[in-house]
Amino acid sequence: MDLQVLRWFQAVADGATVTETAQRAHITQPALSRALGRLEREVGTPLFTRAGRALRLTPAGRVFKHTLDQTLDRYDVGLRAVAELVDPDRGVVPLAFLHTLGTWLVPPLISGFRGAHPMVRFELRQHGEAGILQSLLDGVVDLILTSGNPGHPQVRWHRLLVEPLRLAVPSAHRLSHRKRIRLSEVAEEPFILLRSGYGLRTLTEELCRQAGFAPRVTFEGEEVETLRGLVAAGLGVALLPPPHAVLSTLDAVTAPITPAHHLEVTDVDATREIGLAWLADRSLPSSSHAFHQHVLAAGPTLVPAAYRTSRR
């Protein structure tokens, strides 16, 4: 089987159209269709069925793709391992992380690592917990920085630190003069939450449940800083990581409204664990292994002392 044809099959099976795949491959659409036809004859059964203008995998196609994804992933890992063996200073580290970690944790981790490995490249992806976990399971990335142990049997996770959550309230809110608050005190307030599928959304709902109520959701978003801005605009309250110094400075200069106030929560354990995860049964290429070791050593030292926790 032609390796390139297998990659074309994978692209179409993942949802790309034949036209899009042919354009990316710089071949004609009929040529790609013929190549996929040859692949089906080699496999011995149809792999696609047509649904309107789209192609859908047959049951045999789904089985074939599952095995092919694993095979191509191992092949690509092998290529990277050989390339890094030949030139260990020019590897690639595919990394995915939560949006909220991109402003304070990820930059110094990468900067500190590249001080010793200046030629290593990073392929970075941002998403919520579900998205970055899927990227890891699919072999798209080698490592993920996420909130809480994913609890997946194929994944190993190491806690780096515990990050406190604060109740963000508008500057004109009746409680904004306070430093501490019981979460139960805002049971009747409108809440601004991340969309379903984000770990902070699940954690917020659980903490509210522990405090004796279900949050009344008025707005949903996909970025913590968007939620913080909506709170500052007076549209509700939210449980959020505290703003970091860099963001606070920028907010003071550019924000058209008074920033939100962030209050310590005292009646529930309003914290979340931040950690590094990788696949348990997959050997990391040398560059990713070196970054893995760097994160385990440097991660807990890059945050204020109040955030730190003992390693497990």
**pLDDT bucket at 74, cuts 50 / 70 / 90:** confident
3-class secondary structure, 205 = helix
Give me the pLDDT at residue 308, please.
47
Gyration radius (Cα) of the chain, Å: 23
- Predicted pLDDT of residue 246: 42
- The model's pLDDT over 9-66, given as tens digits with 9 standing for 90+, comes to 999 999 888 999 999 899 999 999 999 999 999 999 999 998 877 789 999 999 999 8
**How far apart, in whole angstroms, are the C-alpha atoms of residue 246 and residue 15?**
40
Query: How many other C-beta atoms lie within 10 A of the C-beta of residue 192?
Result: 26
Q: What is the structure's pLDDT at 248?
A: 40
CA distances from 311 to 97, 268, 276 (A): 20, 23, 12
The pLDDT score that the predictor gives to residue 180 is 96
H or E element in which residue 69 lies: helix 59-86
Q: What's the CA gap between 300 and 272, in Å, rounded?
A: 14
For 221-270, write each residue's pLDDT tens digit. 988 989 999 999 999 999 999 886 444 433 444 445 678 999 999 999 99
- Residue 149 has a pLDDT of 92
Which tens digit of pLDDT belongs to each residue from 161-212? 999 999 999 999 999 999 999 999 999 999 999 998 788 999 999 999 999 9
What domains, with CATH codes, occur in the chain? 3-81 (1.10.10.10), 88-162+272-307 (3.40.190.10), 166-269 (3.40.190.10)
Tell me the per-residue pLDDT of 94-146, one tens digit each, with 9 for 90 and over: 999 998 898 889 999 999 999 999 989 899 999 888 889 999 998 889 999 99
289 vs 312, more confident: 289
Q: Is residue 311 within a helix (H) or strand (E), and if so which, with residue range? A: none
pLDDT on residue 256: 52
H or E element, residue 295: helix 286-298
User: Is pLDDT above 60 for 89?
Assistant: yes
| Better pLDDT: 76 or 10 | 10
pTM: 0.71
Instruction: Outline where DSSP puts E strands in the chain.
Output: 48-51, 54-57, 92-98, 121-127, 143-147, 155-164, 166-169, 180-181, 190-194, 216-221, 238-240, 261-265, 271-279
